């Protein structure tokens, strides 16, 4: 399995290729957020490139080329790669907001809402 990381301050985009499963993977994290891990997943090479772009990450050219052709990313480190901080931070905020919205939809009580009765634990009349 190859695993590489691109970091900028507290931001990190990890990615690689799992040879036994023949799949790419990624993990997005930011150590300044409450939930350090923001997003992770398995994907195709094209999806890895799309995800990196969404997060403002530019993969090293040799890794991007391998992913574009669905070839394994080598274990050896490569020069290059960067994170556009403003794009990353905007995507992180949206991901965290979406996560909160999903929690609200299923009635998760984060302690900050008046609709705690939605999960069936409190009577709405009280």
For residue range 53-110, what is the model confidence (pLDDT) as tens digits? 999 999 999 999 999 999 999 998 899 999 999 999 999 999 888 888 777 766 555 5
Across 30-58, average pLDDT: 91
Q: Is residue 124 part of a domain?
A: no
How many residues are there in the chain?
126
Q: Is residue 10 part of a domain?
A: yes
Work out the pLDDT band at 114, boundaries 50, 70, 90: very low
**CA atoms of 124 and 88, how far apart (whole Å):** 40
Domain that holds residue 58: 2-119
Number of domains within the chain: 1
Across 11-20, average pLDDT: 95
Q: Is residue 126 part of a domain?
A: no
Q: Is residue 125 part of a domain?
A: no
Q: Is residue 59 part of a domain?
A: yes
Whole-number pLDDT of residue 120: 40
**Mean pLDDT value across the chain:** 84
Asked whether the beta carbons of 29 and 35 are under 8 A apart, the reply is: no
Q: Which tops the pLDDT comparison, 25 or 97? A: 25
Whole-number pLDDT of residue 121: 39
CA proximity to 67, closest of 116, 32, 31, 23: 23
> In terms of C-beta density within 10 A (0-12 exposed, 13-18 middle, 19 or more buried), how is residue 71 classed?
exposed
**Comparing 21-25, 44-48, 75-79, which segment has the lowest mean pLDDT?**
75-79
Q: Is residue 57 part of a domain?
A: yes
Whole-number pLDDT of residue 99: 81
Asked whether the beta carbons of 5 and 81 are under 8 A apart, the reply is: no
């Amino acid at each position: 399995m190859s695993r590489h990381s691109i970091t900028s301050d507290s931001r990190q985009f990890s990615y690689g290729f799992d040879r036994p499963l023949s799949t790419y993977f990624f993990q997005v994290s930011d150590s300044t957020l409450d939930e350090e891990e923001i997003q992770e997943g398995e994907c195709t090479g094209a999806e890895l490139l799309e995800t990196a772009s969404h997060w403002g990450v530019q993969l090293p050219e040799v890794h991007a080329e391998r992913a574009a052709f669905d070839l394994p990313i080598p274990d050896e480190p490569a020069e290059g790669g960067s994170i556009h901080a403003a794009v990353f931070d905007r995507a992180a905020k949206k991901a965290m907001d979406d996560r909160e919205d999903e929690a609200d939809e299923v009635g998760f009580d984060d302690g900050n809402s008046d609709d705690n009765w939605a999960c069936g634990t409190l009577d709405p009349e009280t």
